[in-house]
Structure 1
């Protein structure tokens, strides 16, 4: 499954919407995805499974790239 992760690059700063970044990662569950990126020091705001029409929409984005771990 593909998940979209909304995060801040630093977990020591207060989250600001304008600084929120996203990445796509393949995983079995939300827990699996969080464990894969735990060593990066991100402040993870939200992890969302991407399927169906939402995935089709994201595939059209030129910045779409799945992180492989």
Structure 2
């Protein structure tokens, strides 16, 4: 499954919408995504499972790049 992760670079700063970044990961579950990213010190705001038409849309977007973790 492919997940889109919304996060802040630093877990110690207050989240600001304009500084939110995204990455795409392949994982078995949301828990697996969080385990894969735990060493990066990200402040994970939201993990969204992508499937169907929404996944196709994201894959056609210029910023789509599957992260290797």
Does TM, normalized by the shorter one, top 0.5?
yes
**Structure 1 consecutive aligned stretches of length 4 or more whose deviation exceeds 3 Å:** none
Partner of 1:28: 28
TM-score, normalised to structure 2, is: 0.97
Partner of 2:17: 17
| Paired residues, number | 69
Alpha-carbon distance in 1 for matches of 2:18, 2:37: 21
TM-score, normalised to structure 1, is: 0.97
Alpha-carbon distance in 1 for matches of 2:57, 2:4: 13
Gap regions ≥5 residues in structure 2: none
Aligned-residue CA RMSD in angstroms?
A: 0.5
The alpha carbon displacement at 1:63 in A equals 1.2
The alpha carbon displacement at 1:46 in A equals 0.4
